[in-house]
Amino acid sequence: MTPWIVKNLWLIPALPILAAGLSALAPQRCRKFSASLAIGSMVVSFLLALCAFAHTLQHGGHGAAKEVFNFEWLRFAAGDAGILKLGWVLDPLTAVMLVMVTFVGTLIFIYSVGYMAHDKNFTRFFTFLSLFAGAMLGVVIANSLLLLFISWELVGLTSYLLIGFWYHKPSAAAAAKKAFITTRIGDVALLLGMVWLYSQTGTLLFYDDGGGCMEKSALAKMVVQATGIGMAVSTGIGLLIFIGAMGKSGQVPLHVWLPDAMEGPTPVSALIHAATMVAAGVFLVARVYPLMAVSDISDAGRLFFSNTSPALQVVTWIGAITAVFAATIAVAQNDIKRILAYSTVSQLGYMMMGLGVGGVAVGMFHLITHAFFKALLFMGAGSVIHGCHDEQDIRRMGWLKKYMPITFLTYAVGMLALAGFPLVFSGFWSKDAILHSAHGWSVSQIPFYLGVAGAFLTAFYMTRQVALVFFGSNRSRRGNEADHSHPTIPPPHVGGYEPHESPLVMTAPLIILAVCAVGLSAIGTPAWPWFQSFLGQHHGEGGFTGEVISLMVLSSVIVFAGLGVGWWLYGRKPIQKADEPDVLENLPLGMHAWFAKKYGVDELYEMTVIRFNAWFARACAFLDEWVWGGVVLLVSSLAVGFGFVSDAFDKFAINLGFDQSCDGVTRGGKLMSRLQDGRVQNYLRIIGVALVVLVLFLIWGGGK
Amino acid sequence: MLAWTIYISFLGVLVLMLLPKGNASAARKVAMLSAVAGLFVAVAGFVQFKVGEIVTVAKLPWIPSLGIEYHLAADGVSLTLVLLTGLAAVGGILFSWNIEHRAKEFFAFYLALIGGVYGVFLSFDLFLLFVFYEIAIIPKYFLIAIWGSTRKEYGAMKLALYSFVGSAMVLVGLIAAYVVSGAHTFNVMELAKYPFPHDFQMWAFPLVFVGFAILAGMWPFHTWAPTGHVAAPTAASMLLAGVVMKLGAYGCLRVAMTLFPQGLENWSFGVVGFHSWRDVIAVFSVIGIVYGAVVALVQKDFKFVIGYSSVSHMGFVLLGLVTLNTIGLSGAVLLMFSHGIIAGLLFAVVGRMVYERTHTRELAVLEGMNLVKAMPFAAATFVIAGMASMGLPGFSGFVAELQVLIGAWKAFPTLAVISGVGIVIGVAYTLRAMQKAFFGEAEKPLTPALSPSDGERETASQDEHHHAMDAISVPERIGAVMLIGVSLLVGLYPRILLDVIVPSFDSPLFDWLRKGGGP
């Protein structure tokens, strides 16, 4: 007997989708209707998610309990092998994500009411937002890679629609297109991985009473088979799926879309491009973790899972590189949202690395804590932008803590959590768990050092941002005078502005999230690793062993160093004018320019992939127009030419011959006819001549 | 009963010819009535169909001395395509509701084409099939040559020539089969049982397959398709992409692959990596997928983008056919249905909604019009249809392409990966066309480079130009909603078609294919 909540888990994504459908049909002026519908559906989904969460708690949690509900979707072929099933699963992983997505989602929905209040496409915004929430929840509950993929694509679509929400801005339209195409590259890899998985195992269900593709028999089948290039089939499929996750989660080299995606409205950035959608890639890896981690099989058929399996090594390296790579770029950005965007990319790298070296619980813990404090930071940034009349350049802010105290305080909490300030902030514990696992990784210590470097950079750039935005002096007016001389700063708003605090509907969610950013640290400390054991991935004795404490001390030192250097450079002696050069521009080797240019990855793609593609397309178009078209033209002109030749042959050879013969006959006839033209004198003349000829003939020898 | 789809269409032609001249409104009503009746019959036939059967609809001697019969029958494959034809027919009329110029003749040719298409899908006698096949091509020519635009004579002639070359190849193959079998019949079920000599199949198969595949837009015989689509009036390009290209793919499956399956077997030798006609066709299909997509990426004419996208999608259909496993084959059939619906809708938006209001299809010009403001409905329709076309889950194309990919993965893993590239580019060209056509920058000064025939409109200022556009009419709305609805229905509940299609491949016709085919 399937419990009620498992059977009806589909309601959680279905409600927001239903709300989206209803508000899509509502006319534009029904603003209240569509907002309350969206928020209402999210609240109900949240309550249901809590039920589901309670259910998993009750049934033990600890990763083992996977309750599934599967149903037949279609038949490809006759017999059991041709049936394709979909389904959903309720396990601790799902439950945790459900609660997080619905909770953060609800807060962001409420916040959006304030943020989007002046937008004339208010209802459309909530339609898309609800659709997104539904799709994301679909990803979370899916027990079939196919259902996950379907929701995944829907998530990508809504992300496209929301990034391009202000499509009249060319940058927004371009960013939307870029995001969609870049993630779609990953998605095709995921699709191929899925197709491969299906051909190998005959199912796309994750768990199906032993018959699913994440279960023992299927994994055993895949790990023993080798592909053409030597790696196991499971590794090949795992890597293809991981490319899909890289696209969605902005891992290097597919990260380029995420910073551009900040063109969307800020609640979108908070919900989609910080808390939920970009985490979907991390979640996907967590979901197919058995496939990624399976490394070997014993003769007795026992499967071995390890964090050094080839697929997980790739995950770890990509994650570690992304973490540092994006953090260095964040150091040199001036757009408040772009800093957070690169920070998100970097943190997603941490999560991937956590999954690689430490398992599901480590990566997921950081995912959850990050979701809260990054949503908080984005919404705080939104509040700042809102209060500063759409100003986004941090060089043109300053001293805002006086104008917007609530935003400042909550932002500071988020910033400290992100930076990993010791002991009381959740980010510290989740990041520490990752560093701890990386330290123990048997393959290489380099990811650990990269992680430590990233932690330093994170603390540094967040301090820089907070110092420039909330401390120092207000540069919004002062920058104006210098604008004409400094081309890199966009034109100012007419007459400057007076910053103001945002309304309660925007600050209340900030406060709640700030509380969570602190409170979440309670559930995953080494002293009481509830979260880890809930996800069933906690091995070894917990508690504060000597190693744990020394690492904690190390990472605290790193964080303090980052905070200190940041404050030393930006907080101690605040810049006075918006166009003052950044102190980091003195770094050797033009490093700052590289950071500011984002290492030129966009330009690189522009020069290689895009230019090649355009060239190739033009070549094909040319081919089509001139070569294939040309062949046709050639054939047709040959045909026509042959026609001409035939025609000429007709005219000059056949006809001419015919005509000439005719003429000949006519002429012959005329000649003949002269012989009998009825003139007697001619007859006589001929007779006379003939007579003479005859006589002469006879005289000269005819008579012998 | 299904035979009535054919009769009703030709009855419609007859009634239209009897109508007085110049009465466009009556003409379109008659056409509509006939198309809806045809669709109704198709749906009824679909509902009554017993899964897995081959229903004989009519079987009468026609030319007894040659063993030719008037033999109509249907299995799941033909039924699916009959249903598609019905939908496309109704959709096409909805989107040509505004035809005034020689409306009577227009709809007469239109219905004749539809009747021919129904006939092809229902014929189980190959001679009859060939006759209907030719009947379908001729009205096509006139529809383009008389009511078309942009180099219409060229487009029409190219289409007709390609079609006839294909037909000639098919005809040679059919006659050869008739003579070689000595069975004195054109009945496809009889001929399918006849074991043609292996060597004969080796040349007859490619002959007939390519003959049909020309009409399916197989690379490199595809160039008629984009020019033909562009030249054709809206309804005709909807039918062209929607059903006529399917005639080709259907012929490949029903005739070439059924009669000469051993033609797919390996040769005794290999030529640059090709070991069978199957390899050749698969590679050509995948080239078509990628090639069609990249060419679509750089087109300047909106309709050419859709035209080339059809080439790309038909590549998937042909790839599905040569996978020779049930999953790929049924995917190919489902994709024929799905593409028929979605391509029809895309052509409707481009040809009817946009072109007839703006009188241009130049993406560069449309970019300056910010059409989303002027025609939000068209923009929304194109966004949805574009999403469906790029194979987004929830729409019919996704399931179909997934099946083809799974099938192809089993048969040609490398090619499956390459066709993935085609999917990515599919996203790129759709988004490019979408953003240029509908979401351009409003600030850009409007410089409508109108075609000379519309010169007088050019004087209209920008604002007037916007106001001058008619609102999207009710028939257009109905048509768009109908086609989107069908695509969504099939996408969310694919069993509605798959449960009919899949068992068809168990019939004796496909004995050989089902046994695993070639290698």
Which helix (H) or strand (E) segment holds residue A192: the answer is: helix A170-201
Residue A665 has pLDDT above 70, yes or no: yes
CA-nearest residue of chain B to A200?
B410
B393 contacts in A (CB within 8 Å)? 149-150, 153-154
Q: How far is A543 from chain B (nearest CA, A)?
A: 47
A613 contacts in B (CB within 8 Å)? 294, 297, 425
The pLDDT value given to residue B348: 92
Burial class (CB in 10 A: 0-12, 13-18, 19+), A30: middle
CA-nearest residue of chain A to B433?
A177
Name the percent of chain A lying above pLDDT 70: 87
Report the 3 state secondary structure along B383-448. HHHHHHHCCCCCCHHHHHHHHHHHHHHHHCHHHHHHHHHHHHHHHHHHHHHHHHHHCCCCCCCCCC
Mean pLDDT value across residues A532-541: 64
pLDDT by residue (tens digit) across B232-282? 888 889 998 889 999 999 999 999 998 888 888 888 887 777 888 889 999
Q: Lowest-pLDDT range, A223-232, A643-652, B282-291, B320-329?
A: A643-652
Q: How far apart are CA A579 and CA A670, in angstroms?
A: 110
Residue pair A456/A558 in contact by the 8 Å Cβ criterion: yes
Which helix (H) or strand (E) segment holds residue B59: the answer is: strand B55-63
Q: Say which of A189, A192, A624 has its CB closest to residue B295.
A: A624
B295 contacts in A (CB within 8 Å)? 617, 620-621, 624
Q: How far apart are CA B342 and CA B334, in angstroms?
A: 12
Residue A660 has pLDDT above 80, yes or no: no
Q: How far apart are CA A369 and CA A417, in angstroms?
A: 9
A180 contacts in B (CB within 8 Å)? 427, 431
Residue B519 has pLDDT above 50, yes or no: no
Residue B370 pLDDT grade (very low, low, confident, very high; cuts 50, 70, 90): confident
DSSP string, A212-261: STTSHHHHHHHHH-B-TTSSBHHHHHHHHHHHHHHHHTT-TTSTTHHHHG
CB contact under 8 A, B327 and A170: no
Residue pair B244/B84 in contact by the 8 Å Cβ criterion: no
The pLDDT value given to residue A491: 44
Amino acid sitting at position B183: A
Q: How far apart are CA A163 and CA A184, in angstroms?
A: 15
Nearest to A311 by CA among A345, A256, A352: A352
- Count the Cβ atoms, other than its own, within 10 Å of residue A163: 29
Nearest to B416 by CA among B323, B303, B492: B323
Q: Rounded to 5, what percent of chain B is helix, strand, coil?
A: 75, 5, 20
Q: Say which of B399, B424, B442 has its CB closest to residue A184.
A: B424
CB contact under 8 A, B427 and A181: yes
Which residues make beta-bridge pairs with B294? none
CA distances from A682 to A673, A674, A690 (A): 13, 10, 12
DSSP string, A167-178: TTSHHHHHHHHH
Q: How far is A512 from chain B (nearest CA, A)?
A: 36
CB contact under 8 A, A76 and B498: yes
Mutate one of A184, A197, A198, A609 to test the B interface: name it (highest B CB count within 10 A): A184
CB contact under 8 A, B409 and A199: yes
The pLDDT value given to residue A60: 62
CB contact under 8 A, B410 and A77: no
A614 contacts in B (CB within 8 Å)? 297-298
Residues from A contacting B (CB-CB < 8 Å) are: 73-78, 82, 146, 149-150, 153-154, 157, 164, 167-168, 170, 173, 177, 180-181, 184-185, 188-189, 191-192, 195-196, 198-199, 613-614, 616-618, 620-621, 624, 628-629, 632, 636
CB contact under 8 A, B502 and A199: no
pLDDT by residue (tens digit) across B307-356? 999 999 999 999 999 988 888 999 999 999 999 999 999 999 998 888 88
Report pTM.
0.83
B330 contacts in A (CB within 8 Å)? 76-77
Q: Please, which residues have CB within 8 angstroms of residue A492's CB and are 6 or more apart in sequence?
A: A396, A476, A479, A480, A483
Computed on alpha carbons and rounded to an integer, the radius of gyration of chain B in Å comes to 22
Residue A629 pLDDT grade (very low, low, confident, very high; cuts 50, 70, 90): low
Q: Say which of B387, B399, B439 has its CB closest to residue A74.
A: B399
Nearest to B260 by CA among B206, B336, B306: B206
Name the percent of chain A lying above pLDDT 90: 9
Residue A492 pLDDT grade (very low, low, confident, very high; cuts 50, 70, 90): very low
Q: Lowest-pLDDT range, A182-196, A482-496, A639-653?
A: A482-496
Mean pLDDT, chain A, whole residue set = 81
Residue A525 pLDDT grade (very low, low, confident, very high; cuts 50, 70, 90): confident
CB contact under 8 A, A157 and B499: no
Which residues make beta-bridge pairs with A16? none
Mutate one of A161, A169, A195 to test the B interface: name it (highest B CB count within 10 A): A195
CA geometry: angle A409, A412, A418, nearest 5 deg? 150
Residue B444 pLDDT grade (very low, low, confident, very high; cuts 50, 70, 90): very low
The pLDDT value given to residue A589: 67
CA-nearest residue of chain A to B495?
A74
Residue B456 has pLDDT above 60, yes or no: no
Tokens of B395: 């729409």
CA-nearest residue of chain A to B440?
A168
Residue A297 pLDDT grade (very low, low, confident, very high; cuts 50, 70, 90): confident
DSSP string, A79-126: SGGGEEEEEEEESHHHHHHHHHHHHHHHHHHHHHHHHTTT-TTHHHHH
Residue pair B249/B216 in contact by the 8 Å Cβ criterion: yes
Mean pLDDT, chain B, whole residue set = 86
User: How many contacts does A have with B, using Cβ atoms within 8 A?
Assistant: 120
Mutate one of A76, A229, A627 to test the B interface: name it (highest B CB count within 10 A): A76
Q: Lowest-pLDDT range, A512-526, B213-227, B296-310, B494-508?
A: A512-526
Mean pLDDT value across residues A112-118: 82
Mean pLDDT value across residues B473-483: 91
Q: How far is B321 from chain A (nearest CA, A)?
A: 15
Residue B306 has pLDDT above 80, yes or no: yes
Q: Please, which residues have CB within 8 angstroms of residue B87's CB and are 6 or more apart in sequence?
A: B39, B340, B341, B482, B483, B486
A624 contacts in B (CB within 8 Å)? 223, 226, 295
Q: How far is B502 from chain A (nearest CA, A)?
A: 6
- Count the Cβ atoms, other than its own, within 10 Å of residue B467: 10
B498 contacts in A (CB within 8 Å)? 74-76
CB contact under 8 A, B423 and A614: no
Residue B459 pLDDT grade (very low, low, confident, very high; cuts 50, 70, 90): very low
Q: Lowest-pLDDT range, A3-7, A63-67, A86-90, A432-436?
A: A63-67
Tokens of A113: 């009411």
Find the largest Cα–Cα distance for chain A: 156
The pLDDT value given to residue A243: 92
In this structure, what DSSP letter does residue A164 have?
Answer: G
Mutate one of B227, B284, B286, B405 to test the A interface: name it (highest A CB count within 10 A): B405
Q: Lowest-pLDDT range, A131-140, A398-407, B46-55, B207-216?
A: A398-407
Q: How far apart are CA B309 and CA B315, in angstroms?
A: 10
CA-nearest residue of chain A to B394?
A150
Residue A494 has pLDDT above 60, yes or no: no
A188 contacts in B (CB within 8 Å)? 420-421, 423-424
Q: How far is A166 from chain B (nearest CA, A)?
A: 10
CB contact under 8 A, A613 and B294: yes
Q: How far is A114 from chain B (nearest CA, A)?
A: 26
Mean pLDDT value across residues A204-222: 83
The pLDDT value given to residue A43: 93
The pLDDT value given to residue B515: 62
Q: Lowest-pLDDT range, A582-591, B200-209, B432-441?
A: A582-591
A73 contacts in B (CB within 8 Å)? 494-495
CB contact under 8 A, B432 and A188: no
Q: What is the ipTM of this complex?
A: 0.79
B417 contacts in A (CB within 8 Å)? 192
The pLDDT value given to residue A176: 87
Residue pair A30/A36 in contact by the 8 Å Cβ criterion: no
B410 half-sphere exposure, CB direction, 13 A CA radius: 24
The pLDDT value given to residue A404: 82
A196 contacts in B (CB within 8 Å)? 409, 413
Q: Say which of B223, B295, B439 has its CB closest to residue A620.
A: B295
Q: How far is A399 from chain B (nearest CA, A)?
A: 37
The pLDDT value given to residue B115: 93
Q: Please, which residues have CB within 8 angstroms of residue A671's CB and are 6 or more apart in sequence?
A: none
